[in-house]
Structure 1
Amino acid sequence: MTVAASTRGRSKGLVLTAMIFAVAMTFIDQTIVSIAAPTVQHDLGLSSSGIQWAINAYLLSLAALFAFGGRLADTVGHRTMVVVGVIIFAAASALCGATPHGSGAEAWLVAFRAVQGLGGAIMFPAAIAIVVATFDLRSRGRALALFFGLAGGLTAIGPIAGGYLIQWTWRAIFWINIPVALIALALIAISKPVTEHRPAPIDYRGLALIVGGVGLSVFGFQQSALWGWGNPAIEICIIIGVLLLAVFCAVELRTESPLINVHIFGNRAFAVENIILLIAMMAFIPVFFFASVYGQIALAEKATTASLLILYFFLGFVVCAQIGGRMLDRIGAKRPVVLGCALAAVGFFLWGQHSTTLSAGAQTIWIIIAGAGMGLMLGQANTDAINRASRYSYGEATGITQTVRNYGASLGFAILGTILISDFRSKITGSLISRGVPGPAAAAQAAKIAQLQGGSGNISAIPGFIRADFAAATRDVLYGMAIIMAVAAAVALRGLRRGVQQDIAQPADVAEQVPQVPGRERGIRTGDL
C-alpha cells in the first residue's frame, strides 16, 4: 500500500468516526430520557402528560423535519449542515439540562426537546450523505454497516447510562451530549470531509403541510387523556392532521422539486415495508419509556435496576438481529419480518400477563422474547425497504424510512400514553371507591394521582394498591403493543413476497451515482435501530 493510499484510508476512517460521533447524540436521546422520566417529573413538578410530551416532542420534531433537513443539506452543503446540526443539538441539550423550576418548566423542556429534534433532523441526513460520498461502492456497504451498527447500538446504551447519570443529577442525561458534540466538531475540523452541494428550491409548502399534519395528528391523540374524547377539539385535530398529510402527498406528486419524492411509493415492496415500519415503531421506541416507568413505579426499583428491563429486551434484540440478517441474505425479508412481528406480539402479550405479578424475574423471559421478535424483523424490514428502492438514491430512501419510523414512534407514544393515563386513572378511581372514598372525591383524587402530581419523590413509599393499579395499566399498554405487532405481522404476511431480492439493473453512469446496498453488504440490517 502506498503512503497516499494509507493516508486516504486513515482520512476516510476519521470522517466515518466523526459522523458516528455526530449522530450518536440523536440515537442516545431516543431512549436516555425514558429512564429518568420519574425523577425529572418529580423534580420539576411536571404532569404525566407533560413528561410524555418532553419525550415525544423530540420524536415528533425528527419526523416532521427529517426530509427538510435532507433537502437543506443537499442545497447548502452536507458538512456545513452537520456542523450546524451538532451545534443546535448541543445547545438545546444544554438548555434542556438547565430547565428552571417553576410554572414554565414544562414548556421550557418540551420546547428545547423539539429544538433537539430540529438539530438531529438537520444533522442526520447530512451525515449519511457524507459517509456515502466518502466511500466508493465496493467499501460503502461495510462503512454504512459500521455507521449504523455503532451509532444505532447507542439506543440500547441510553437507558443504562441514564440510570447511572441520574444518581448524580438528571440534568446530566442532557449534558452528556456536550462533550460528544465537541469531539464530533473536532473530528470534523480535522478530517475535513469533502462534499458537494447543488443549490435548489426548497419546498416550503410541503414543509408546512407535513409539519402541520404530523403535529396535529399526534397532538390530538396525546391530549385526549387530558381533554377527553368527548371534547370535539380532539377529533378536529386528528382529522385536520390526517387531511393535511393527504394534501401533502397530493401536492408533492405535482411539485417539481418535492420535499419527499412520493413517487417512490409506487414501488409496492417499498410501500409495504414502510407500512410495516410505521406500525412496528409504534411499539419499539415507546416500550423503553413504559418499561422504565413501570420498573420504577410498579416494581419500586431504582433507575439503575429498572434499566435492566430494557437490557433484557436488547439482549433478545441483538441476538435475533444477527439471525434475521442471515435469513435476509439467504431467503429474503418475508420470513424474518413475519416471524419477528409474530414473536414480538407473543412476547408483549405474555409480558403483559405477567406484569401484574410485580416480579421482574417472572417477566424476564417474555421481555427477551419481545425484544427477539423486534430484532428479527426491524432491521430486515428497514434494509429491504431501502434495497427495494435501489433505483433511487440511498439518502432519499433512507430519509423516507426515517421519517416514517419517527412518525410511527410519535404516534405510538401518543396513543399508548393516553391508554396508560386513562386506564391508570380509571383503576385508581375503582380502588379508592372500594376503600370507602365517595365517587366524586375518588375521581378527583385519581385524576391527580394519574398525572403523578404532588408526589413525595420517594417511589418506595407509593402505596401497594397504586403500584398494582399502575401495573394493570401497563399491562393494557403491553397488550396494545401485542396488537400493534400482530397487525404488522398480518401486513407482512399479506403484503411481502417470498424470495431474495434481485438487484435492479442500471446503466453504468447511474450505478456510479446511485449508492447501492447489495448482497452481503446489507450490514446495516443489524444495527439500524
Structure 2
Amino acid sequence: MFMATVDSSIVIISMPAIFRGIHLDPFAAGNISYLLWMIMGYLLVTAVLVVTLGRLGDIVGRVRIYNLGFVVFTLASVALSFDPAHGGKGAMWLIAWRVVQALGGAMLMANSAAILTDAFPARQRGMALGINQILALSGTFIGLVLGGVLSAWDWRAVFWVNVPVGIFGTIWAYRSLREISARQPARIDWWGNLTFALGCGLILVSITYGIQPYGHDTMGWTSPKVLTGLIGGVALLIAFAVIETRVPQPMFHLALFRNRHFAAGNAAALLASIARGGLQFMLIIWLQGIWLPLHGYDFADAPLWAGIFLLPLTAGFLLAGPVCGILSDRFGVRYFTTGGLLLFGLSFIGLLLLPINFSYWAFALLILLNGIGSGMFSAPNTSAIMSSVPATHRGAASGMRSTFQNSGTSLSIGVFFSLLIIGLANRLPSALDSGLRAQGVPAGVAHQAASLPPVSTVFSAFLGINPIETLLKPSGTLAKLPAHNRDVLTGKEFFPHLISSPFHHGLVIVFATAAGMSLLAAVASALRGTPKATVLEPAAARTPARPVAKTEK
C-alpha cells in the first residue's frame, strides 16, 4: 500500500526534472495536458478500477489479485524508467505506462484492507488497518520527499526506486500469503462494471479538461466536451445504481449503504480526501513558487526542499494513525474520527490566517496538527467501514472505500485549482502588467504577458519555475533592457513577490472551502451508528431461502 500511494505523489514533485529529462517545454501550447495526465492518469485508473478489482478478489481470491498487482506494478515501473523517446512522444510513453502501473496499484489497494480484515480478529482490526491506512496516506507525502531527492540525482530514479521493492514484494507475497477467505463463485456483472468505470472515468476526465483554458475563457468548464462528459458520467452512474438493484449477482451491493456506519464512514472519507488532496497541491505551489525563492532557494532546488519542509505533515500521520487505531479497538471509533476531523479543519483555518511569507515554525506546527487530525480519523474510520460489511463482500467494500478516497483526490484537483484560478484571475493580470512595466517592459508586451491564462502561472509555481524569461523571450524584450532590470526580472524574488498577493487571495478561498468540507465530514462521522449486520437480499427477492450474510458486532 505504501508503494502504491508513493507513486501517486512522487511524480508530482519530480515533474520539473521529468520535463527537462524528456526535453519538454512545460509552457508550450498543449503541454499542460501532458503534465495533468501524468498526474491524473494514475489517480483516475486507481479510482475507477478498485471496486471492480475488489469484487473480482471476492470471486477468484483476494490474495491472487493482490499478488498479481505486485507483478503488474513492478513491470510498469521498469518500463517507465526506460522511456526511449523525447518531447510529446516521451510524455505519452510515461502516461501510458503510468496507467498500467495504476492498474497494479489498484489491485493492491482494492484487496489489502480486505485481506487484513480477514486475517485479524475484531479486537485487533483497528491496529492492523490503522497501520495499513496510515502508511497509505503517509506514502502520498513521503513520495514528495523521495521525488525531490531522487529527481535531483536522475529523473529515472523516481521509477527505479519501485523495482527492488516490487521484486521483493512479489516473491514474498507468492511465498507467504495464503487465501483464508471463502471464495464466492459468481458471474461477473459486466454491465455494472462497465457503467461504473465509464461513469467515474468520464467525470474525472472532464475535471481534468475543466481546469485547462478553453477559447478565451481561463478554464474549460463551459466547453461542450466537458459539459457532455460530466452529464454523461452522472447518467452512467445513475444507470449503474439501477442495474445493481436488478441483477442477481451485482458488482456491488448497494444495500451496504443502508448501514449508517458504512455510508457515513465513506461520506466522511470522501470529504476528508477532497480537503487533503487540495492541501497537498496548494502547499507545493506555496512553497515551490513563493516561499522558498523568497528565502533564497534556487527554483531548481525548490522541489527537494518543499518535500523536506513538508515532513511534519507526514510525522503527524505516523504518530497519530497506529496509536488511534489501537485505541479505537478499545474505546470505539466515533470520538477519534470526529475529533480528528475537527482538528483537521481547525488546521486549515490556521493556515489561511498565515501571512504569505510565514514563519516556518508556525507553518510546521499547523501542518503537524493537520497530519495528526488526519491520522486520528483515517485509521479508525477504515476499521469501522470494513467491520460493518459481511465477510463475503469485503473485497468490493474495500474497493468502494478506496474509490471514495482516490476520487476525492482527483476531485480536489478540479475543485481547488478552479477556486485558486478564479481568485488569481481577478488580481493577477493587473499585478503582472504593472510589475513588468515598472521594470521597463514596454506596455504592449506587458499587457500581452498579463493576458495569458492564470493556469500557466499556477503550473509554473507548481513546477517551481520562474516563467518571466519564458514569457518575455519571444519578443526579445529581455535583451533590450538594462542589466539591472533584466537581473531583477529573472531573479529569485520578482516572480514570487508579484504573485504573492493574488495567490494569497486564492489561497484563502481554497483553505476556507477545505475547512468547511472538514466540518461537514465531522458531522457525517458524528452521525454514524453502532456497527451492525448488513442484510443483503438478492435483487427483487428472487431467492427467499438464501441465508442472510452477517458480520461480527
TM-score, normalized by length of structure 1? 0.80
Cα distance between partner residues in 2 of 1:266 and 1:239? 26
Alignment partner, residue 380 of structure 2: 380
Q: Is the 8 A contact 1:35 1:162 kept in 2?
A: yes
Cα distance between partner residues in 1 of 2:384 and 2:512? 23
C-alpha deviation, 1:64, in angstroms: 0.5
Q: Relative to 1, partners in 2 of residues 1:149 and 1:171: Cα closer, same or farther, differing over 3 Å?
A: same
Alignment partner, residue 48 of structure 2: 64
Q: Relative to 1, partners in 2 of residues 1:322 and 1:489: Cα closer, same or farther, differing over 3 Å?
A: farther
Identity of aligned residues (%): 27
Alignment partner, residue 262 of structure 1: 254
Name which of structure 1's ranges 179-188 and 360-369 shifts more when overlaid on structure 2: 360-369
Alignment partner, residue 45 of structure 1: 25
Q: Is the 8 A contact 1:349 1:478 kept in 2?
A: no
Q: Is the 8 A contact 1:341 1:489 kept in 2?
A: yes
Q: Relative to 1, partners in 2 of residues 1:321 and 1:146: Cα closer, same or farther, differing over 3 Å?
A: closer
C-alpha deviation, 1:216, in angstroms: 1.7
Cα distance between partner residues in 2 of 1:502 and 1:206? 27
Alignment partner, residue 83 of structure 1: 67
C-alpha deviation, 1:241, in angstroms: 1.6
Alignment partner, residue 218 of structure 1: 204
Alignment partner, residue 409 of structure 1: 409
SS in 2 for 1:254: coil
Structure 2, gaps ≥5 residues long: 438-442, 468-488, 536-545
Q: Is the 8 A contact 1:431 1:465 kept in 2?
A: no
C-alpha deviation, 1:250, in angstroms: 1.9
Q: Is it true that 1:175 corresponds to 2:150 in the alignment?
A: no
Q: Which amino acid aligns with 1:486?
A: G
Q: Is the 8 A contact 1:163 1:304 kept in 2?
A: yes
Cα distance between partner residues in 2 of 1:152 and 1:494? 21
C-alpha deviation, 1:490, in angstroms: 3.1
C-alpha deviation, 1:412, in angstroms: 1.0
Q: Is the 8 A contact 2:275 2:518 kept in 1?
A: no
Q: Relative to 1, partners in 2 of residues 1:388 and 1:70: Cα closer, same or farther, differing over 3 Å?
A: closer
Q: Is the 8 A contact 1:96 1:109 kept in 2?
A: yes
Alignment partner, residue 337 of structure 2: 337
Cα distance between partner residues in 2 of 1:168 and 1:79? 36
Q: Which amino acid aligns with 1:444?
A: L
Alignment partner, residue 521 of structure 1: none
Q: Relative to 1, partners in 2 of residues 1:333 and 1:293: Cα closer, same or farther, differing over 3 Å?
A: same
Deviation digits for residues 249-286 of structure 1, max 9, x if unmatched?
Answer: 22112222222211100112321221111111012244
Deviation digits for residues 6-31 of structure 1, max 9, x if unmatched?
Answer: xxxxxxxxxxxxxxxxx442122133
SS in 2 for 1:230: coil
Cα distance between partner residues in 2 of 1:387 and 1:126? 15
Q: Which amino acid aligns with 2:199?
A: G
Q: Is the 8 A contact 1:33 1:162 kept in 2?
A: yes
SS in 2 for 1:389: coil
Where does 1:147-296 land on structure 2 (aligned, <5 Å)?
A: 147-148=132-133, 153-191=138-176, 193-194=178-179, 197-226=183-212, 227=214, 228=219, 229-296=221-288
Cα distance between partner residues in 1 of 2:112 and 2:330? 30
Q: Relative to 1, partners in 2 of residues 1:487 and 1:406: Cα closer, same or farther, differing over 3 Å?
A: same
Alignment partner, residue 431 of structure 1: 431
Q: Is it true that 1:442 corresponds to 2:422 in the alignment?
A: no
Q: Relative to 1, partners in 2 of residues 1:144 and 1:502: Cα closer, same or farther, differing over 3 Å?
A: closer
Cα distance between partner residues in 1 of 2:465 and 2:353? 28
Cα distance between partner residues in 2 of 1:242 and 1:84? 32
SS in 1 for 2:250: coil
Q: Which amino acid aligns with 2:377?
A: M
Deviation digits for residues 192-233 of structure 1, max 9, x if unmatched?
Answer: 634664542212212221222112212222222322333233
Q: Which amino acid aligns with 2:271?
A: I
C-alpha deviation, 1:183, in angstroms: 0.5
Q: Is the 8 A contact 2:337 2:525 kept in 1?
A: no
Cα distance between partner residues in 2 of 1:59 and 1:458? 28
Cα distance between partner residues in 2 of 1:260 and 1:177? 32
Q: Relative to 1, partners in 2 of residues 1:184 and 1:464: Cα closer, same or farther, differing over 3 Å?
A: same
Structure 1, gaps ≥5 residues long: 1-22, 519-529
Alignment partner, residue 471 of structure 2: none
Name which of structure 1's ranges 203-212 and 486-495 shifts more when overlaid on structure 2: 486-495
Q: Is the 8 A contact 1:166 1:173 kept in 2?
A: yes
Q: Give the number of equivalent residue pairs.
A: 489
Name which of structure 1's ranges 68-77 and 54-63 shifts more when overlaid on structure 2: 68-77
Deviation digits for residues 382-404 of structure 1, max 9, x if unmatched?
Answer: 32233333576433332221111
C-alpha deviation, 1:85, in angstroms: 1.8
Where does 1:434-473 land on structure 2 (aligned, <5 Å)?
A: 434-435=434-435, 436=437, 437-438=443-444, 439-444=447-452, 448-452=456-460, 464-468=493-497, 470-471=499-500, 472-473=502-503
Q: Is it true that 1:496 corresponds to 2:496 in the alignment?
A: no
C-alpha deviation, 1:448, in angstroms: 4.7
Name which of structure 1's ranges 44-53 and 273-282 shifts more when overlaid on structure 2: 44-53
Cα distance between partner residues in 1 of 2:2 and 2:322? 21
Name which of structure 1's ranges 328-337 and 338-347 shifts more when overlaid on structure 2: 328-337
Cα distance between partner residues in 2 of 1:445 and 1:194? 53
Cα distance between partner residues in 2 of 1:423 and 1:115? 36
Alignment partner, residue 30 of structure 1: 8
Q: Is the 8 A contact 2:532 2:551 kept in 1?
A: no
Name which of structure 1's ranges 468-477 and 80-89 shifts more when overlaid on structure 2: 468-477
Cα RMSD for the two superposed structures: 3.6
Q: Which amino acid aligns with 2:200?
A: V
Q: Which amino acid aligns with 1:31?
A: S
Alignment partner, residue 109 of structure 1: 94
Q: Which amino acid aligns with 1:306?
A: A
SS in 2 for 1:166: helix
Q: Is the 8 A contact 2:118 2:391 kept in 1?
A: no
Alignment partner, residue 11 of structure 1: none
Flag the structure with larger Rg: 2
Q: Is the 8 A contact 1:346 1:482 kept in 2?
A: no
Alignment partner, residue 308 of structure 1: 308
